[in-house]
């Protein structure tokens, strides 16, 4: 890995499609939140920032101390962009690159994160995103030249505007099906079956 890479995991949303806080729900005996935190800590040890917002006490308790630092976004209702900005501001002074992750993607593996980091050349103006075949998305690595734009994000648009701005070099890695995110109780059941099949 070239340079110091931090992971920012977004766990601030209201989970309205799920019908309640989903990240604390059990998946194969562990809170859903544990999977992204464990993967991030195994690849970026001591450099994992968890951004909470909705029901922060429950999120912090369910995180099991796996986050290096938890930051609570009081304006989480503004949308994902606002939470990205909060997370990036927390570690930008120490990071050469930041990987933005979603807490509801339990199939993201340490191997994927390692490949994401390996694809980064160390170029401050480079972005490396995951390619799921029919779409691209998180986890996404951002070099430090993108930090100013990430810190200006607001609303519910996420970092797509930064990726599509054409100001930066964008690379992709093949990620397969691991981008599956849990939005509904049915999604949680699907992921549970997938994890059971892997055992």
The CATH class for the domain spanning 5-198 reads alpha beta
Tell which phi-psi region holds residue 64, choosing left (phi > 0), alpha (psi between -120 and 50) or beta.
left
Give the single-character DSSP code of 3.
Answer: S
Q: State whether residue 194 is helix, strand or coil.
A: helix
Q: Write out the two tokens for 192.
A: 């549970």
User: Distance (Å, rounded) from C-alpha 183 to C-alpha 158?
Assistant: 16
Cα end-to-end span (Å), the chain: 30
Residue 161 · residue 152 · CB < 8 Å: no
Entry pTM: 0.92
Higher-pLDDT residue of 183, 55: 55
What per-residue confidence (pLDDT) applies to 113?
Answer: 96
User: Residue 188 pLDDT more than 60?
Assistant: yes
Report CA-CA distances (Å) from 144 to 21, 74, 94: 32, 25, 10
DSSP state of 50: E
Residues in a beta bridge with 193: none
**32-43 vs 110-119: helix axis angle to the nearest 10?**
40
- What is the mean predicted confidence (pLDDT) over 9-28? 76
CA gap 191, 197 in Å, rounded: 10
15-24, 68-77, 78-87, 158-167: least confident range: 15-24
* Residue 16 pLDDT class (50, 70, 90 cuts): low
% the chain with pLDDT above 70:
92
């Amino acid at each position: 890995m070239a340079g110091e890479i931090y992971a920012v995991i977004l766990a601030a949303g209201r989970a309205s499609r799920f019908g309640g806080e989903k990240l604390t729900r059990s998946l194969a005996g562990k809170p859903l939140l544990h999977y992204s935190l464990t993967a991030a800590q195994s690849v970026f040890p001591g450099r994992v920032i968890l951004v909470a917002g909705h029901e922060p006490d429950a999120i912090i308790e369910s995180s099991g101390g796996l986050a290096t630092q938890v930051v609570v976004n009081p304006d989480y209702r503004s949308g994902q962009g606002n939470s990205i900005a909060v997370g990036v501001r927390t570690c930008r002074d120490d990071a050469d690159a930041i990987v933005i992750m979603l807490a509801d993607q339990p199939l993201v593996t340490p191997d994927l994160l390692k490949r994401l980091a390996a694809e980064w050349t160390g170029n401050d103006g480079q972005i490396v995103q995951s390619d799921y075949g029919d779409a691209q998305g998180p986890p996404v690595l951002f070099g430090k030249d993108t930090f100013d734009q990430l810190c200006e994000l607001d609303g519910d648009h996420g970092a797509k505007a930064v990726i599509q701005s054409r100001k930066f070099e964008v690379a992709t890695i093949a990620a397969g099906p691991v981008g599956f995110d849990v939005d509904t109780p049915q999604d949680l059941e699907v992921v549970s079956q997938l994890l059971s099949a892997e055992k």
